Amino acid sequence: MSLLIKNGEIVTADSHYKSDIYVEDQTITRIGKNLEAPPNAEVVDAEGKYVFPGFIDPHVHIYLPFMGTVTKDTHETGSKAGLVGGTTTFIEMMVPNKNDDLLEGFELWTGKAKNNAASDYTFHMGVPYFNEKTESQLKEIIQQGIASFKIFLAYKGVFGVDDEELYNTLTFAKKHGIITTAHCENETLVSELRKLLMSQGKTGPEYHEPSRPAWVEAAGVKHFTSFLETTGAEGYIVHLSSEQALNEALRAKNRGVKVSIETLIQYLLLDSNHAELPNFEGSKYVMSPPLRIKSNQKILWNGLERGLIDTVATDHAPFDFKGQKDMGKGDFTKIPNGIPGIEDRVNLLYTYGVKRGNLNLNQMVSLLSTKQAQLFDMFPRKGTIQPGSDADLVVYDPNYRGKISAKTQTMNVDYSAFEGMEIEGKPSLVTVRGKVSVRDGEFVGDKGWGQLVKREPSHF
**Contact residues for ligand URP (CB under 6 A)?**
61, 183, 239, 287-288, 315, 317, 337-338
User: Cβ of residue 194: shortest distance to ligand URP, in angstroms?
Assistant: 14
DSSP string, 282-296: GGGG--SSPP--THH
Q: For ligand URP, which is the closer residue by CB, 220 or 338? A: 338
Q: Cα 89 to the chain's mean position, in Å?
A: 10
Q: For ligand URP, which is the closer residue by CB, 11 or 190? A: 190
User: Cβ of residue 333: shortest distance to ligand URP, in angstroms?
Assistant: 13
Q: Do residues 428 and 86 lie in contact, with contact meaning Cβ atoms separated by under 8 Å?
A: no
C-alpha–C-alpha distance, residues 265 and 416, integer Å: 13
Ranges within 134-173 binding Zn ion (CB under 5 A)? none
User: Cβ of residue 221: shortest distance to Zn ion, in angstroms?
Assistant: 13
User: Cβ of residue 337: shortest distance to ligand URP, in angstroms?
Assistant: 3
Strands 402-403 and 148-152: unpaired
User: Cβ of residue 5: shortest distance to ligand URP, in angstroms?
Assistant: 36
Instruction: Give which of ligand URP, Zn ion, none residue 287 binds (C-beta under 5 to 8 Å, depending on kind).
Output: ligand URP
C-alpha–C-alpha distance, residues 121 and 326, integer Å: 31
Binding flag, residue 49, Zn ion (CB under 5 A): no
Ranges within 181-210 binding Zn ion (CB under 5 A)? 183
Task: Give φ, ψ of 272 to 5 degrees.
Answer: -65, -20
Query: Which residues share a beta bridge with 430?
Result: 394, 438
Binding flag, residue 212, Zn ion (CB under 5 A): no
Instruction: Give which of Zn ion, ligand URP, none residue 338 binds (C-beta under 5 to 8 Å, depending on kind).
Output: ligand URP
Q: Do residues 240 and 249 lie in contact, with contact meaning Cβ atoms separated by under 8 Å?
A: yes
Instruction: Give which of ligand URP, Zn ion, none residue 128 binds (C-beta under 5 to 8 Å, depending on kind).
Output: none
User: Cβ of residue 180: shortest distance to ligand URP, in angstroms?
Assistant: 15
- Taking CB under 5 A as the binding criterion, the range among 179-187, 229-237, 384-392, 414-422 that sits at the site for Zn ion is 179-187
Q: In Å, what is the CA distance from 294 to each residue of 243, 300, 419?
A: 11, 10, 18
Task: Locate all alpha helices (DSSP H) within 288-360, ordered by sequence.
Answer: 295-305, 345-349
Ranges within 295-334 binding Zn ion (CB under 5 A)? 315
Instruction: Give which of ligand URP, Zn ion, none residue 240 binds (C-beta under 5 to 8 Å, depending on kind).
Output: none
Q: For Zn ion, which is the closer residue by CB, 61 or 274? A: 61
Q: Cα 293 to the chain's mean position, in Å?
A: 22
**Which residue from 7, 69, 35 is spatially nearest to 324, judged by alpha carbons?**
69
Q: Do residues 267 and 348 lie in contact, with contact meaning Cβ atoms separated by under 8 Å?
A: no
Q: In Å, what is the CA distance from 261 to each residue of 180, 294, 299?
A: 12, 20, 14
C-alpha–C-alpha distance, residues 392 and 431, integer Å: 5
CA-based R_g, the chain, Å: 21
Q: For ligand URP, which is the closer residue by CB, 117 or 317? A: 317
User: Cβ of residue 240: shortest distance to Zn ion, in angstroms?
Assistant: 11
Q: For ligand URP, which is the closer residue by CB, 263 or 428? A: 263
- Contact residues for Zn ion, defined by CB under 5 A: 183, 315
